[in-house]
Amino acid sequence: MGGGISSLSKICVVAPSDRRDADIEFTFVQVGVKDDRIDYSGNCGNMSSAIRPFPIDTGLVRPSNTAGLNTTVSLYNTNTQKIIEATFPITNDGSETVEGDFAIDGVSGTAAKIQLDFVAPGSSKTGKLLPTGNTIDIIDGLQVTCIDAGNPCIFVNADELDVDGTLLPNETDKRIDLLERLESLRVKAAVAIGMANTTDAVPPSIPKICFVSKPASHKILSGETISADKVDVVVRAISTGQPHRALPITTGSCVSAAARLEGSVVHNCLSAGSCVKQELVIGHPSRTLVVGAFYDDEGKLRKSTVYGTARRLMEGRVFWK
């Protein structure tokens, strides 16, 4: 809240659910940073992690297992009309466990591990995993992959843009020409996948757009150098016009899902042998994110899995007009 970047300008409205397949339902809201736009069009994976402790702490739901074990809370996201299963440990009194040894690149410290399973995440907004029906499309003169797995996302090879795929956010931010090119591609792709009738009507938060490249040794925001053999693919995401400092979780779901589709932009950038892996190590500006994509025997995306952390920072009232 109030961080001045898209990843720190978010709201979730939470309530008990009347659905038989969900304990809690929530609506995600992306709040504009450079303007006063309120966007309900997509979901946020990190905020889905944050929903995890809230219903337990506030008594909206009771833990499903005894203390010392993991409990699972089923979340219904109204934006995408999809179920997310959040699994996490609880304490002796039934409250959520905060302390743990799980670390996420780009987040300081360690905490209890949260497993998020996005159930049947394909077609969250467009009705199809591949909204155009194609693995590759030519849009705005570029080869792209359009995929919808948790949120719609557009992938383009960094080589097609003639840029270094390992650019850091501050470097990308200086490339106004690159950001304008990516936004032009994003809004035209949004029309192509049926999210809007005109480019002016495209929501600011989705589809996400990323440039993708093959693994290479590169520096990350901490100043460390990551060797090429530590990642399966390198991705740089743009969120509401700003270079993301890590990788949105739902975008990671799209990366992992696209990696299993032969001929896609992501598949073509994978390291040798990565295309058969169910869990993919994605390089981003803060290091890596591991995301799993699990298809059934008929080729349908059954679920995508990612891991996160969350804890309550404060409580109070926010007034606005």
| More confident of the two residues 237 and 314 | 237
| Same-domain pairing of 288 and 149 | yes
In a domain? residue 57: yes
Residues sharing a CB contact under 8 Å with residue 96, sequence separation 6 or more, in sequence order: 52, 53, 56, 57, 88, 89, 90, 112
In the prediction, which pLDDT does 248 show? 92
User: Coil, helix or strand for 288?
Assistant: strand
How far apart are the C-alpha atoms of 306 and 300, rounded to whole Å?
A: 18
Domain that holds residue 43: 6-121
pLDDT in tens, 200-246: 999 999 999 999 999 999 999 999 999 999 999 999 999 989 999 99
In the prediction, which pLDDT does 140 show? 96
Are the C-beta atoms of residues 73 and 24 closer than 8 Å to each other? yes
Mean pLDDT of 99-125: 89
0.85 cut: is pTM over it? yes
Mean pLDDT of 97-106: 85
Question: Measured between alpha carbons, how far is residue 24 from residues 51, 84, 95, 103, 228 in Å?
Answer: 9, 10, 16, 26, 41
In the prediction, which pLDDT does 25 show? 96
Q: How confident is the model at residue 64 (pLDDT cuts 50, 70, 90)?
A: low
Question: Count of CB atoms within 10 A of residue 171's CB?
Answer: 15
In a domain? residue 132: no
pLDDT in tens, 32-61: 887 888 889 889 888 898 887 788 778 888
| Same-domain pairing of 271 and 155 | yes
| Same-domain pairing of 117 and 141 | no
In a domain? residue 22: yes
Residue 67 has pLDDT above 60, yes or no: no
In a domain? residue 316: no
Q: How confident is the model at residue 321 (pLDDT cuts 50, 70, 90)?
A: low
| Same-domain pairing of 151 and 210 | yes
Mean pLDDT is highest, among 55-64, 82-91, 206-215, 272-281, for 206-215
In a domain? residue 17: yes
Q: What percent of the chain has pLDDT over 90?
A: 69
* Average pLDDT, rounded, for the chain: 91
Residue 317 has pLDDT above 90, yes or no: no
Q: How many domains does the chain have?
A: 2
| More confident of the two residues 69 and 282 | 282
* Domain termination site, one of 65, 96, 121: 121
Q: How confident is the model at residue 96 (pLDDT cuts 50, 70, 90)?
A: confident
* Domain termination site, one of 68, 97, 121: 121
* Residue at token pair 């969350």: 310
In a domain? residue 170: yes
Q: How confident is the model at residue 68 (pLDDT cuts 50, 70, 90)?
A: low
Phi, psi of 258 (to 5 degrees): -70, -30
In a domain? residue 69: yes
In the prediction, which pLDDT does 1 show? 64
User: From the DSSP assignment, how many helices (H) and strands (E) are in the chain?
Assistant: 7, 17
Question: Measured between alpha carbons, how far is residue 207 from residues 42, 187, 245 in Å?
Answer: 8, 8, 18
| Same-domain pairing of 149 and 289 | yes
Are the C-beta atoms of residues 138 and 245 closer than 8 Å to each other? no
| Same-domain pairing of 81 and 23 | yes
| Same-domain pairing of 192 and 73 | no
Structure tokens at 173: 């931010």
In a domain? residue 304: no
In the prediction, which pLDDT does 313 show? 82
| Same-domain pairing of 154 and 198 | yes
| Same-domain pairing of 97 and 149 | no
| Same-domain pairing of 65 and 183 | no
Residue 288 has pLDDT above 90, yes or no: yes
| Same-domain pairing of 166 and 64 | no
| Same-domain pairing of 281 and 154 | yes
In the prediction, which pLDDT does 316 show? 86
CATH of the domain at 85: 3.10.310.10
* Domain termination site, one of 121, 145, 172: 121
| More confident of the two residues 46 and 95 | 46
Which residues lie across from 209 on neighbouring strands?
Answer: 154, 238
